[in-house]
Structure formats: structure tokens, C-alpha cells
Amino acid sequence: MSRRGKKNKLKYAIILFVILIFTVIVELTLNPDILETINSRIPKIDLGDAMAVHYIDVGQGDAQLITLGDRAMLIDAGPNSEEDGLLLYLKMQDIDELEYVVFTHPHEDHIGGADMVLEKFCVRNVIMPDVIHISDTYLRMLEAVEKSDSKLIIAAPDREYAFGDASLKILAPISDDYTDLNDWSAVIRLTYGITSFMFMGDAEKVSENDIMNKYNGFELKCDVYKAGHHGSTTSNSPPFLAVCDPEFAVISCGKNNEYGHPHSEILKLFSEMDIEVYRTDIDGTVVLKSDGLSVSKIK
């Protein structure tokens, strides 16, 4: 090739490169969702002996992944619309097997991805409350549980299970005659060393009162409180929060959701109680770390 030909080839290559960069910039400017998706893909978090608690951003819904060494468990599976995002997130974290999967209660924003989780991962134990619900999503979940090799554990108070060196205790549902499905939520307290994490599902004040009547303050104290019912005023009553006395609260909810979650009264309450708040609608996926002695935010 002549010198001139080589020069022309280089010129074209530079022009093509500039066009490519320009296209990417325009695409990201016009479609910020792409940027958001890229940001939500967190590379594998490996903390060695420490425990990681991921409050995964699944829009308006709940999904929390807990990892400790090579063990993993999942609390809720988000809404159906976020199933692909949840699958991607779990794959990015190198998850193949889940020792426990808790479906707190049968509402779609908690079990929408349940069938996917049961089909794509080796789930050892499924924990769920003994309540039925008539919906396609719930029936799909039941079918997937039946098809899987998972052991079914009914969420009942006082049941305690080992998760490596951590311990998972089911606090609720306590009664078997709740009229609101939210109060049937399996409430989980996870303890690692001297740190503890409370996962409220969508439990409302009726269940909170039952929990307070059954357990003493020592059994309810936690470092991190996953706000009940996406930060709604139906839950998170001041006396209950006073007993739990957390340092951090995490609210799992969708940006501009139709329910107005989290409610301003709850944000005010957290602020008055000096509780540091993280929100999946603002912060995206939140990841906290416990080394058994203290809790810190790593994302």
C-alpha cells in the first residue's frame, strides 16, 4: 500500500472512532437508563470472613442477598418485571447455590422472581409462611417449589437455623389469624458475631405489636433495620423502632412509586431517632458489611 493509502486508512479509522464515541455519548445522554443499568451491575463483592448484606435495587419490591464465605441466602425475589435484573445481579455475585431462600409473604413485589430463582439456582431450603393467596404469581411459585429439590420450611416463630457462623432466627408470623397478608410476613433476625440485621418484609403494626409482646428488647435490638412495608406508615411504629434501636435503616422501594413510599412521617421518625437511612430508590443497591463486630457501608 502506498504512503498515501496508509494515511487515508488511518484517517478513516480516526473518523470511525470519533463517530463511535459520539454515538455512545448521545445514547447515554438520551437514554440515562443505560447508565443506570451499567451502574447497578456490581462486580463480585468478596469479603472473606465478613458477611455482606445486599439490599438489591429491584424497583418497587424487596430482594436482599446475604453472603458469608461461599454461602448465600436470599430474602424475597422482587417483582416479576425485575426478574432479569435480579438474575444478572446474582450471577455477577457468582451465586450458584442458595442455602436459604425466604419468601416473606405472597405479594407479587416479593415473589415475582421466585420461580426464576428456583429454576436457575440450587436452592437448599425455602422458608415461607403458612398462608395461601390466589394469584398467578403465587401459583407459579408453588409449582416451582414443588418441581425443585428444596426442603420447605414453614416460617414459625422461634425457629433458628445456622448460616455458617451466622444465625438466622424467625420471629414472625406469630398468630395464624392475620387478616392482612402483610402481617403474615416472615420476619427474620440475622445475627453475626455481635451484629444483627432485622428483615421486616411488609409486616405491619399488628405483627409489630405481637413481636414486641413475645420477645424482650435484647432479642429485638439490631444494628440494621430493613424498614417494614417499603417505609410505609402502616408499619415502623415508634415503639417498635425504639425497641429495635437500629443504627441504620434501609428502605427498599421504587423511584416515584405510586404509593408514595417511603412516607415522609417515617423519614422524619428515622431522622428524629438519629437513624442513618439508605434508600434503594435513591442509592440504588445498598451493600453493608459486618465483620462480626461492627457494620459499615461498602456501597
Rounded distance, CA 141 to CA 114, Å? 6
The nearest distance, CB 292 to Zn ion, in angstroms, is 30
Binding-residue pattern over the window 153 to 192 for Zn ion, x denoting contact by CB under 5 A = ----------------------------------------
285 or 290, CB closer to Zn ion? 285
62 or 99, CB closer to Zn ion? 62
99 or 183, CB closer to Zn ion? 183
Q: Is 115 in the site for Zn ion (CB under 5 A)?
A: no
List, in order, residues 6 or more apart from 239 with CB less than 8 Å away: 212
Rounded distance, CA 72 to CA 84, Å? 19
Rounded distance, CA 111 to CA 74, Å? 11
The nearest distance, CB 116 to Zn ion, in angstroms, is 18
Name the one range near Zn ion by CB under 5 A: 7-15, 77-85, 146-154, 194-202. Answer: 194-202
Name the one range near Zn ion by CB under 5 A: 25-33, 161-169, 196-204, 249-257. Answer: 196-204
Grid cell digits, residue 57: 435495587
Name the one range near Zn ion by CB under 5 A: 2-10, 37-45, 107-115, 220-228. Answer: 107-115
103 or 192, CB closer to Zn ion? 103
* Inter-residue contact 232 to 205 (CB < 8 Å): no
The nearest distance, CB 208 to Zn ion, in angstroms, is 15
Cell 456490581 identifies what position?
42
Q: Which amino acid is at 68?
A: L
What Rg, from alpha-carbon coordinates, does the chain have? Answer: 22
> Is omega for the bond preceding 106 within 30 degrees of 0, making it cis?
no
Give the binding-site size for Zn ion (rule: CB under 5 A).
2
Name the one range near Zn ion by CB under 5 A: 186-194, 200-208, 239-247, 288-296. Answer: 200-208
Name the one range near Zn ion by CB under 5 A: 47-55, 103-111, 147-155, 252-260. Answer: 103-111
Which one-letter DSSP state was computed for residue 44? P
Q: Is 109 in the site for Zn ion (CB under 5 A)?
A: yes
83 or 202, CB closer to Zn ion? 202
User: Do the strands 286-290 and 160-163 form a parallel or antiparallel pair, or are they unpaired?
Assistant: unpaired
201 or 246, CB closer to Zn ion? 201
Q: Is 202 in the site for Zn ion (CB under 5 A)?
A: yes
Q: Which of 272, 279, 197 is nearest to 230 (CA)?
A: 279
Dihedral sign of CA atoms 60, 62, 189, 174 in order: positive
Name the one range near Zn ion by CB under 5 A: 96-104, 144-152, 198-206, 274-282. Answer: 198-206
115 or 202, CB closer to Zn ion? 202
68 or 79, CB closer to Zn ion? 79
202 backbone dihedrals φ, ψ, rounded to 5°: -110, 20
DSSP assignment of 63-88 equals -EEEEETTEEEEE----GGGHHHHHH
Residues lying near Zn ion in the complex (CB under 5 A) are found at 109, 202
